[in-house]
Amino acid sequence: MTDPASGNRPPRPEPSRSEPSRSKPSGASAAPITEIVERMADTAKGERVTMGDTLEAFGRRSYMPVLIVPALVVMSPLSGVPLMSSICGAVIALISAQMILPGVGSLRIPGFIARRNISGRRARAATAKLSRLAHWLDRRAQTRLKWLIDPPGRTVLEVVCLLCGLAMPVLELVPFSSSILGGAVLLIATGMLARDGLFALAGLSVLPVFGTVLALGIETLGAAGG
């Protein structure tokens, strides 16, 4: 529009030069593992808490958070509860299998596993100890090495998680074996959730350590039996 007094056009406003937003996409969490631990703690507020209650808190279509839950449990003091490592291994195997199979809709967990319960007090103590680990993972996770997270690399990672879950019930009596396998699954699942291939690679690198511990554990059990 022309200024009637001078006949000149007013200067056009300069386009904004603000830096593009670096925030995460809508719906993405800046601290996904911490949120998982916090939701686990919320489900443990009662006198007893079941595996089904904990998994249900994430929804039946949230495969990745639900895969992380049993991996966290088996790395916590709750791994000392009789058969807890076997239950967590079975859940990891079931979730991984349903992730691999095409066309599977909502997550399905057998009733006898879903009804497995522990005291709420013990569960709250365990989640409190997991908070520091969750913060550590969230602070360091970032998008990198995406070729390992995208297919076909992702399918390989899901198969590894399946095998780790299947091994846990078999190796219940071998010291530390379930916690090591749980750590591998946790790193791999965190990598897939945060699209951080380096975390997934770290999870794969844990497996040779597991092989060493397994060999030593079997040798120790054999010596004790002899």
Q: Which residues contact 30 (CB under 8 A, 6 or more apart)?
A: 24, 138
pLDDT of residue 226: 58
The larger pLDDT score, comparing residue 175 to residue 128, is at 128
User: Is the pLDDT confidence value at 25 over 60?
Assistant: no
The larger pLDDT score, comparing residue 29 to residue 133, is at 133
The pTM of the full predicted model, rounded to 2 decimals, is: 0.79
pLDDT band at 61 (very low <50, low <70, confident <90, very high): low
Mean pLDDT of 197-222: 80
User: Is the pLDDT confidence value at 187 over 70?
Assistant: yes
Mean pLDDT of 127-137: 90
pLDDT tens for each residue of 135-169: 999 999 999 999 999 999 999 999 999 999 999 88
CB atoms within 10 A of CB 200: 26
